[in-house]
Structure 1
Amino acid sequence: MQPLMGQLPAARVTANRPFTHTGIDFADPIMIKVGIRKSTLIKTYVSVFLCLSTKAVHLEPVSDLSADAFMACLRRFISRRGLPSHIWYDNTTNFVGTRREIIKYYAKQRSGRTVYDELLDEELCTVLAQVEACLNSRPLTPLSSDPCDFNVLTPSHFLIGGPAQVIPEPDLLNIPANRLRKCSLMQKTMQDFWCRWRMEYLSSLQVKNKWLKDKKPIPIGSLAILKEDNAPSLKWPMVRIEAVHPKRDKIVRVVTVRLANGNQLKRPAVKICPLPDC
């Protein structure tokens, strides 16, 4: 039997302040260097906070998987993003331990102790902030149906009222890491992440069964992302569909697109990632 798919939870479809309903999970651990002369490698974790209604992302470094370390991480998150009304998490021990501590605090069963989180490498915090900006720059839907408007809604609009911005940096992708200074190495790390994240996100916009079942051609005037390998950080090439060019089999494999500057290009249809209708 194929039962009808259930509806999305109310937290996913109700307009709220960003991070009112928050999901939390941990990324895989990463190794960072601590110290200048006698540097040592330590294992560090990244806590991922996801707003369930706006898809905004907040990243926080965590020194270990203990309840105390996550409690400090949660305090930093609440200080910057506000207090959530609901938090979703799995039943790992650090989450359960933190929940137990919060319940005890509100029940006033004990006075509560201050949790001091060890300071992590400043460079990691910088890279995580830039990665966070990349994630929150992704286009969600057009801001209007005006064919002359190329602006899109992003998670950053809910956080800062507009799209995320980045300081222009030189292209460091093709320079070996051992030839870069520490500051430049951080930017190369962010650029490597940007290239991978952008391509994986664009692939998620194109359903995997597109070669098995034919679909209706993309409507003229629709807003889409153009897959460009050399797009700079936080820049998503947006285009409007000007014309489609079906072949003899009536399948559209080539489209004409219009850029924001008015130039028109012919591109393969597989390079086009349409955005959901506003």
Structure 2
Amino acid sequence: MADIKSLLKKRSTYKCKLTIFTNYLNLLNTGSTISELQRLDLEERFSRFNVMYTEFDALQSEIEMLEEDPEDLLEEREDFERQYFSQVALARSLLGVSSKVKAVHLELVTDLTTEAYMAALNRFVARRGKPQSITSDNGTNFVGASNDLQRFLSSNNLASHIAQEGIEFIFTPPYTPHFNLLAEAAVKSCKHHLKRLLHLTHFTFEEMTTCLCKIEAVLNSRPLTSLSSDPNDFSALTPSHFLIGRPLLTVPHPHVADVTITRLDRWKRIQHVQQHFWRRFHNEYVSLLQTKTKWLASTGEVKPGQLVLIKEKTPPLLWSLGRVVNTYPGVDGITRVAELKTKRGTIRRAFNCICPLPLH
């Protein structure tokens, strides 16, 4: 019991450090910009803060191994991780460090005018915060919005710190969409499947907005890598962690029968499109992970303790994850089957039905 008490006391010091760093960031975030001295100080604190999570993860895993019922301690881990990743996102924004996690934000506009783009940009800033820079092609609506903002900041007698709050617009060369690769890849993931579904029905503006928000949630729910090395932790890092600090959830809905969409009422049509999009995107993402694992990023080995994505039918936003407990070689010495520990128990799956998540 003395060991548990000492470990719990040590864990409280990490929580105290997290609170101190949170208060420090909130103090820095009150101003419009940070000075060079503050930037250097933040970089030094942030480098130490990044190491703290690895230490907390090892400590929490040790506590969970000594406890008789480790399930009760998962809430402690989740609370710490939620606060930790939200502060990481804030620190990166203050330092101007971009995280290329391909999080998606979809906005519906009625036309391609500068006014419509400015309205969409204002909605984005109100919900996500002001971006430091925007990279886009040379569309007339994008160039027009940039010119309007620059004229406003230059023609008005504003204070210098307010004038610096403008957004930096970066335009790629004409006919080079590959220059904005991450954004184009995210748009492709949406349009590739969505265009094949929307020709089946016609949505109103409100219905289309709801449908896009549901598809945005699907794209931002995909697992990227494991959050910890704890064998009892089946959670994965997702793009939504960088947006809201936790995984995305959805309001439960009954399964919509796979029938002709025109036979469904208006609300069920939205559910039908989302569920159809989920199945297509889920299969595509699983195939992508299997391709990377087999050919590009690893030797194809599946090791005990590794977090894997299980290929099976699940409701939208629910990715089936498990930890490898053991592997079983065949008579030829080649391993093709793994035993997995999941939230619902232990199962066995062949390698073609599991996808190891990247370690980095």
Task: Pick the TM interval, shorter chain.
Answer: 0.7 to 0.9
* SS of residue paired to 2:240: helix
Equivalent position of 1:41 in the other structure: none
Higher share of residues assigned helix = 2
Higher share of residues assigned strand = 1
Change over 3 Å in CA distance of 1:216–1:210 after alignment to 2: closer
- Letter in structure 2 aligned against 1:267: R
| 1:198-240, Cα deviation, whole Å (9 max, x unpaired) | 1112222122683799825111110011011x20011001111
Q: Within 5 Å, give how 1:25-64 maps onto structure 2.
A: 52-64=99-111
Distance of 2:225 and 2:298 partners within structure 1: 23
**Deviation for aligned residue 1:187:** 0.8
What residue ranges of structure 2 are gaps of 5+ in the alignment? Answer: 1-49, 51-87, 158-203
Q: Within 5 Å, give how 1:206-217 maps onto structure 2.
A: 206-207=290-291, 210=294, 215-217=299-301
Equivalent position of 2:72 in the other structure: none
- Letter in structure 1 aligned against 2:231: P
Larger radius of gyration: 2
Change over 3 Å in CA distance of 1:91–1:19 after alignment to 2: farther
User: Are 1:256 and 2:303 counterparts?
Assistant: no
Retained in 2: the 8 A contact 1:173–1:191? Answer: no
Retained in 2: the 8 A contact 1:20–1:86? Answer: no
User: Are 1:191 and 2:261 counterparts?
Assistant: no
- Alignment match of 1:247 (pick from 330, 334, 344): 330
Distance of 2:305 and 2:328 partners within structure 1: 14
**Deviation for aligned residue 1:90:** 2.1
Equivalent position of 1:37 in the other structure: none
**Deviation for aligned residue 1:149:** 0.9
Equivalent position of 1:235 in the other structure: 318
Equivalent position of 2:266 in the other structure: 182
Aligned length: 225
* SS of residue paired to 1:258: strand
What residue ranges of structure 1 are gaps of 5+ in the alignment? Answer: 1-13, 22-50, 111-119
Change over 3 Å in CA distance of 1:163–1:211 after alignment to 2: closer
Distance of 1:76 and 1:236 partners within structure 2: 30
Equivalent position of 2:126 in the other structure: 79
Distance of 1:183 and 1:109 partners within structure 2: 48
- Letter in structure 2 aligned against 1:157: H
Counting aligned pairs with the same residue, the percent is: 42
Retained in 1: the 8 A contact 2:293–2:356? Answer: no
* SS of residue paired to 1:267: strand
* SS of residue paired to 1:168: coil
User: Are 1:265 and 2:312 counterparts?
Assistant: no
